[in-house]
Amino acid sequence: MRTLQPVRGTRDILPAEMRRHRAVAETARRVAAQYGYEQMATPVFEFTEVFKRTLGEHSDVVMKEMYTFPVSEEGDTVTLRPEGTAGFARAYIANGMQQNLPVKAFYTGPMFRHERPQKGRLRQFHQVGVELLGPSRPLADVEIIAMGQQVLAELGLSESITLELNTLGDLESRKAYRAALVEYFAGFKDKLSADSRHRLDRNPLRILDSKDEGDQAVVADAPTFGDYLNQHSQDFFGQVCEGLDALGIGYRLNSRLVRGLDYYSHTCFEFTTTALGAQGTVLAGGRYDDLIETMGGPATPGTGWAAGIERLSMLMDRDTTPTRPVAVVPAGGDAEMAALRITQDLRGRGFTVDMGYSGNMKKRLKRANNAGACAAVILGGDELAQSVATVRNLDTGEQETVALDQLPGYLARYQPG
């Protein structure tokens, strides 16, 4: 019989790690809210066409990494979402959200890609992300990047992370650059990997992002995008850099940064680290002015980013220990109903409370210590007869007798903050 383990590329998230995941997601949600972004959610799976049309039919994600399933005899298929922007764009069109521009959305949830599992890369992984639809000016890109930088700073990660920045220009600039790349790479076709030869006719920009050593040697002397940017694209990118300079956000220009999806234009960026080995990108995004129109919606400028929760939680060095509970310890069966009522009353007042369900006094106190309790509220027959409880400080061992109606006020000293 097969050992009951998680499927390869997936993993159980146990409480200690889950606290770090929550810290990442909650920090991102809170910062996004400061910028006026509201949380929304889209389905975990969409019709496959949503991703083929937006990510690029010949992209690595579509060709190699999607989990796709048939759902009808007519050939309809659905795909577990490999990223968040495409589903958000579909939701924008389907729900008529263009009537309320600008649209500012925050999301968090699982994504799925059939990749080779390694450190920081899973087949089921989790992301936080933001999307901004409507504004077409460079300042929107600056604000999006600033929001990402603030999330990383509040997680305590800004010192170990570098912002890499590039421009993919407008459609006219990309066509000119594409033609130059095709001409250049055609002269080295025999030296390119099979994947890059395949990309040469379909999307040569992806060759720039190849991790193959032979491809990288050829890419080293390839034309750079900056030489093919028209004036509009140069001005747009210049204003993005000027805005980041004004905010004191440092960055490194990377002319080879292209991102992995077809819908990007103008600004693209990645926050990277060397602390995770090859999987160095922790938050990335850019502008996608043509995406909504490509999907059949009205022409709508857009920009956004997504960040991997697993990768960020691996980098975190903050204390995510849980709130220490108060333990309610009934001494004897007669005290259990009273203890139950007191437990629920304290929880209703905002306390974290743990109650042992069985065992003698010694075992229940041991359980309280194992649970990390800060104090134990001990209830026995004598205490109940006098409407009091014995409260023991489990760090010092000191204890006091407290009237039951004064218990919440007395225990407030154990509340965090």
Q: Let me know: does 313 contact 28? Beta carbons within 8 Å.
A: no
Q: Which residue has the tokens 């600039």?
A: 173
Q: Which residue has the tokens 């910028």?
A: 35
How far apart, in Å, are the Cα atoms of 257 and each of 116, 132, 242, 381? Answer: 22, 22, 19, 72
At position 267, the amino acid (one-letter code) is T
CB burial string 185-213: b at 16+ within 10 A, e below: beebeeebbebbbebbeebbbbbbbbeee
Binding-site residues: 83-85, 113, 127, 131, 259, 263-264
Angle between helices 138-154 and 15-34 (to 10 degrees): 140
Binding-site residues for L-histidine: 83-85, 113, 127, 131, 259, 263-264
DSSP 248: T
For 416, the 3-state DSSP assignment is: coil
State the DSSP H helix or E strand holding residue 124, giving kind and residue range, or none if neither: strand 124-133
Phi (first) and psi of residue 229, to 5 degrees: -80, 130
State the DSSP H helix or E strand holding residue 19, giving kind and residue range, or none if neither: helix 15-34
- Please give the full DSSP string across 55-111, using - where no structure is assigned: H-TTSHIIIII--EEE-STT--EEEE-S-SHHHHHHHHHHTTGGGGPSEEEEEEEEE
